[in-house]
Amino acid sequence: MINFENTFHNLKNDFYANVVPSIPPKPELITYNKNLAKSLNVDLKWLESSEGLECFTGSKVMKNSNPLSMVYAGHQFGNWVPRLGDGRAILLGEVIDNNNERWDIQLKGSGVTPFSRNGDGRAALGPILREYLISHAMNKLGIPTTLALTIAKTGENIRREKILPGAIITRVAKSHIRVGTFQYFASQGKYELLKDLSDYIINRHFPEIDGNKNKYFDLFKCVLRKQAKLVSKWMSIGFIHGVMNTDNCSIIGDTIDYGPCAFMDNYKKDTVFSSIDTFGRYAFKNQPIICQWNLVQLANCLLPLFSNNKEKNIQMAQNEIDQFYQLYENFWSEELNNKLAFKIKDKDDKSLVEELYNIMENDNLDFTITFSSLSSIFKNKKNRLLNYNNNSKNFKKWVLKWKSRLTKEKQSKIEIEESLINNNPFIIPRNHLVEEAIKDANYDNFEKFHKLFDLVSNPFKFDEENHKYHIPPEIINNNYKTFCGT
């Protein structure tokens, strides 16, 4: 049994539509995240039971669930869409975990909602597996993210570019509210509802500012800070979200909506993976500035709540927006300092980092291996990963500068080694591995999927036996594209 609540349902029905999930013809549990289930106080035997399967495929609505789909708007690739909403997602309710934190439980792929916009409300197995796998990897990499509890096949075929098996994912998130949720009400001038939404967010996620004199302005500052930190973490591991629309921008600074996302192999700052991002709006290098752009849209929504002085409100928001990039740079520098084992500040560190990135780009170096190899280089320990940068004379010269820089540190060698190992993953869900796992899974072979899931569960461990999972493919597909599918 699962003990649902649904505080979002207590808001006015302007915020959502009551929805009954579609009943799949032949549901089958494929996998579930055991550790996540335990942390959410979900009994494993119940989860594996017929009732558990019915709950997480929409076949049975549990007590206190009150399933609903949220309404929101958004800028999609910069174009304003006044009404979007959960087109294939249904919020079942909320549960309280072992740390007394509240989590949303949502089904994706569970049928048509009032916001489906001519869609079928279904999801194919491949994108479901991608979200389950990559969100788990992100969590293990220490990056704020939604999580996934279960995957179940529905027993029906889904028509996309071809016929594919259908599936449902149970997504777990501390919030599903987006910048686009605020835009929906602000665009209609419904500022009382916007205030209700802000109060809900503050009460649930930022209670420390609830008694502040200008709590709505402080809410904006909190969101800005969390988003700056989130994107700095993406940039530190070579992750590309792929579709940073305002309706995919979490109000609490978590990574949400794993559609055309991917990790880069060779470092190229212009890398784009999304099949529909034809102009590179959401390229790797653009993610910080797009994050700032999204926050401008949020600021525009919240301005009337700051005070009755319009000009003052604009200036307050502008001051925060102007500080975004420095805030982001500070977070990103902190991430890079950890990756390079720098604890003290040095005036030449910025140029040293810039030199490394230029070498990675010009010499076609693998992003993940460049950083993960540093621990072995520092220890003068040979392993096969080092072969990937052996042909780069520039990288070898840079390593000498980096080692010289480390002599300024007051850390012990063991502390430096630990910093290098604990901040530079050896394992990421590389694109070719994810695609191989999905391809086999479409034919009911989940062996590669489970293997990859186990490996990304411990990303900072190097295992010679699983060497092929640490490295890029022999031939990198520079035209690799991912698709919006979940």
Q: What is the pLDDT of residues 247-283, one digit of tens each?
A: 999 999 999 999 889 999 999 999 998 888 889 999 9
* pTM across the whole model: 0.96
* Residue 6 and residue 64 in contact, taking contact as beta carbons nearer than 8 Å: yes
> Phi-psi bin for 111: left (phi > 0), alpha (psi -120 to 50), beta?
left
**Which residue out of 86, 104, 247, 366 is catalytically annotated?**
247
Query: For every one of its 486 residues, what pLDDT tens digit does the chain have, with 9 covering 90 and above?
Result: 788 999 999 999 999 999 999 999 999 999 999 999 999 999 999 999 999 999 999 999 998 899 999 999 999 999 999 999 999 999 999 999 999 999 999 999 999 999 998 889 999 999 999 999 999 999 999 999 999 999 999 999 998 878 999 999 999 999 999 999 999 999 999 999 999 999 999 999 999 999 999 999 999 999 999 999 999 999 999 999 999 999 999 999 999 999 889 999 999 999 998 888 889 999 999 999 999 999 999 999 999 999 999 999 999 999 999 999 999 999 999 999 999 999 999 999 999 999 999 999 999 999 999 999 999 999 988 877 778 888 899 999 999 999 999 999 999 999 999 999 999 999 999 999 999 999 999 999 999 999 999 999 999 999 889 999 999 988 777 767 676 654
Element (H, E) at 18: strand 16-18
The SS3 assignment for 80 reads strand
Structure token pair of residue 133: 């796998």
**179-206 residues labelled b (16+ CB within 10 A) or e (exposed):** bbbbbbbbeeeebebbebbbbbbbebbb
The CB density around residue 178, as the number of other CB atoms within 10 Å, is 26
- Reference 420, options 457, 379, 450, 458; nearest CA is 379
Alpha-carbon span 169 to 403, nearest angstrom = 46
Alpha-carbon span 473 to 454, nearest angstrom = 20
* Residue 6 and residue 18 in contact, taking contact as beta carbons nearer than 8 Å: no
Alpha-carbon span 327 to 321, nearest angstrom = 10
The SS3 assignment for 147 reads strand
**375-401 residues labelled b (16+ CB within 10 A) or e (exposed):** bbbbeeeebebeebbeebebbeebbee
Residues 6+ apart with CB under 8 A from 50: none
- Greatest extent of the chain over all pairs of C-alpha atoms, in Å: 65
What residue has token string 């490394």? 356
- Complete DSSP assignment for 249-293: -BTTS-B---SS-EE-SB--TT---BTT-TT-TT-GGGHHHHHHH
463 is catalytic: no
- Report CA dihedral (234, 238, 244, 250) to the nearest 10 degrees: -20
Alpha-carbon span 438 to 290, nearest angstrom = 30
Alpha-carbon span 296 to 290, nearest angstrom = 10
Q: What is the pLDDT of residues 82-95, one digit of tens each?
A: 999 999 999 999 99
| 107: β partners | 90, 170
